[in-house]
Amino acid sequence: MNPSPVSFHSILLTAAGDEILENHRAYCRLHGYAHATHAIASPDNGARTLLLYKYSLIRKILTSAPADTTLIFADESAAVYMPLPIQEVIGDAAQWFAQCEFHDHPEACFFVMKSGPQALRLVDGVLDQMRNIPDKGADRWNHSELAGISAQPYDQPVGAVNRPILLFTPFGHHLPELSAFVLSFNPSAHQNTHDARVVAIFVRYLNEVRARNGVLFDDIDTDLSVKPAHEIVNPGKAVALVTCYTPNIAPYALISERNITAYCLRHGYSHYIYRDLPQDMGKQVSGNWIKAALLLRHFDEHEQVIWVDADILIHDLARPLAAITQGKPVTLARDVSGHAFNSGFMVFGNTPACRAYLERVQSLIDAVPDKSGVYASGGDQRFFISAWEEAGGAAAMPLSDCVSFNSHPALYDADSFMLHYMGYPDRLRAVVMRNDARRAAQRTVAVPASGEQSVFIQTEGRHGRFFVNRNDTHVGRSLQTYGEWSEPEVALFQQIIRAGDVVIEAGANLGSHTICLSRLVGDGGSVIAFEPARHTFQLLCANLVANGCINVMAMQKAVGAESGEVEFPLLDPRQGWNFGGASLKWPWADKTERIPCTTVDALELERLDFIKADVEGYELELLAGAGASILRHRPMVYVEINNTEVRNQAVDKFEKLDYSCWYYITPLHSPDNWHGHEHDILKGYSFDMVCVPNERFEVSGMLRAGIDDDVVKYPEGQIQWITSDWRLARISRR
């Protein structure tokens, strides 16, 4: 008996990052489930309106679904953690809900139903109950609309070892140390802060691990075997930073150590590193209890001593400590909790008052019998605060704010000096800190010892690490500024491309989209990437290696109508150019080099699912050399259209092949870009057309292209177009 069909529906009630949708789509690609995305047009509505939309949409889907279809409903607050087949979850039941750990109702962020009268009655009952909930009484997160519906206990395993739903909490306990089927990001569990940024970082990492068939946290460095237990970096300086950690927290402490060391080397500070507790400071003592002792040990050797917890990163590596302390002998930062200040980062000048304060703290700690854990005897922080109160409190030692100085990651902004990752589970903490350490390092562009800036630099982006040319005015500049390039195009590719697909990318540039394509096709697929420009091709290869893309074949070739050799512009990488704009049709290039030219048909591929052509005016030649492959494999074709001739001839060609052509016009600046950069520095758009084989795909939310249509016009070399929201574009397989 064949299993019932499965359809997964992502219902976005608020603006969601791409990582959540990619998580849902990857789960569907793994198991061959159909996927659809539904986004409410006005996410700023109240909770009751959003819930009415959600359940009304679910009813509509149930009504139109074939009988006995298994329907999965997930919103933007849920991600698949352990991708179990849905049949293992729901079994023979008509529906599957999991109870929320924080209240008595079922969790509504992810549930499963089988289409039929029973499911319709359940949803109708929910909608009837919604009528009796006033606008002010509606709460999207307590799920009172599901009261009375049976649900599986959150701590009862699914598939033998996986809890059904675990709540992702910044100050949580078990996640992601234990396994789960689905993660809920229900903010009702967050008593102090809801850290959407950390959620996005973790889900993105989860997606990356699943894409490479890895194991979560298998790439976290914990090796201390080649490091001494105690080390001094840059000794004898006026300012010294002190860090101490024990081997059990090495997954994140090593990341902090490297970040603090880089900061000290940049500004000429000493760095004392204790990778285990000093033997003379006793046993059965947790590392947090020796802060005052270590500061006093090095107090007389320096003008300033600074304690840094092992879960702290310097966010602004370019800012010297003097800009923070502003000549004050003591710098302490307020805490996000009820404590007066946080003892994770403290600055003390070499003054009698500071020595007396630290000695008083140590005397209080010496009297504590149990120092075996971070929170034993109320924790070390209470004794720093007690001594501070004895010394006169804020009148004697004023406190700094906890945003610019001692920021929790949920509260940081662009001006934050440091981030303090307190309370996260260890390996999750390592993932988030590694992400932020890379971004902090990239914001501080290194200058080589020669004093001359390197042409090629590394930057961190949404989809990985990229080497770029600092003189590139378009793709390279976008990756440095935004951390991404033309991200709306990636959003479309994620709808189209599946694991196992074979993709041709002609005009791969430095690989900003190639890396995404590589991850989408997975180990069972392949990407054939062509880039004719020499120095850009070298960046492409470097970026493929840096991101582990072993399923990509890269070639420095042009792609055209026939095989042979062509003259291609050779641009000086030390000059400012849009290097991706180099074209075979440039008549004025000062210098060229002969490179091979091939055709798509010459590859003689056994399979071809997708062609991406961004070849700067050479699109028609490429299509002419791909005719046999298009006839044989019927791939989707994504082609740049920057003039009337390309648009008209491409539409004519594909319509004769029973394709339909659709405009996809997208801005180069996205407000939700990876670095959160508000300004549109490129002030441009990508003008592309998606050519779709009609028997394989359905299209909605896009404007159809036609010969000499009124949607896109090219008067006197300019482009005019009718605005269409690219976010509404949907392409699904039949």
In this prediction, residue 282 carries a pLDDT of: 65
Please report the sign of the dihedral spanned by the C-alpha atoms of residue 80, residue 86, residue 89, residue 90.
positive
Q: Is 684 helix (H, G, I), strand (E, B) or coil?
A: coil
Q: Which residues is 712 bridged to in the sheet? A: 721
Query: Diameter of the chain by CA atoms?
Result: 88
List every span in the chain annotated with CATH 3.90.550.10: 6-211, 230-443
| 6-211: in CATH 3.30.70.260 | no
Q: What is the rounded distance in angstroms from the CA atom of residue 204 to the CA atom of residue 463?
A: 9
Residue 336: the pLDDT is 73
Give the pLDDT of residue 637.
98
Q: Comparing C-alpha atoms, which of 78, 69, 64 is closest to residue 27?
A: 78
Spatial neighbors of 100 by CB under 8 A, at least 6 apart, are 106, 107, 143, 154, 165, 167, 184, 186
Question: What's domain 230-443's architecture?
Answer: Alpha-Beta Complex (3.90)
DSSP state, 613?
E
Fold of 459-733: Rossmann fold (3.40.50)
Structure token digits, residue 251: 């997954």
Query: Is-contact 420 345, C-beta < 8 A?
Result: yes
Rounded Cα gap, residues 299 and 329, in angstroms: 13
Q: For the whole model, what pTM was predicted?
A: 0.61
Are the C-beta atoms of residues 636 and 693 closer than 8 Å to each other?
Answer: yes
Q: Averaged in consecutive runs of 10 residues, what is the pLDDT profile of the chain (734 residues)?
A: 83 84 95 92 75 93 94 94 93 92 85 96 91 75 86 84 73 56 80 71 91 86 81 92 92 93 89 90 80 95 95 88 83 82 92 96 92 81 94 90 73 78 83 89 52 73 90 90 94 95 98 96 97 96 95 97 94 85 77 95 98 94 98 98 94 97 94 83 90 96 94 79 87 90
How many other β-carbons are positioned within 10 Å of the β-carbon of residue 500? 14
Residue 691 one-letter amino acid:
C
- Predicted pLDDT at 589: 67
**355 token code pair:** 């020595």
Question: Angle, nearest 10°, between helix axes 47-64 and 117-131?
Answer: 160
User: Using CA atoms, how far apart are residues 294 and 314, in angstroms rounded to an integer?
Assistant: 21
Phi-psi region of 91 (alpha: psi -120 to 50; beta: other; left: phi over 0): left
From-to residues of CATH 3.40.50.150 in the chain: 459-733
Nearest to 196 by CA among 398, 376, 11, 432: 432
Distance, in Å, from the CA atom of 185 to the CA atom of 708, rounded to the nearest integer, reads: 49
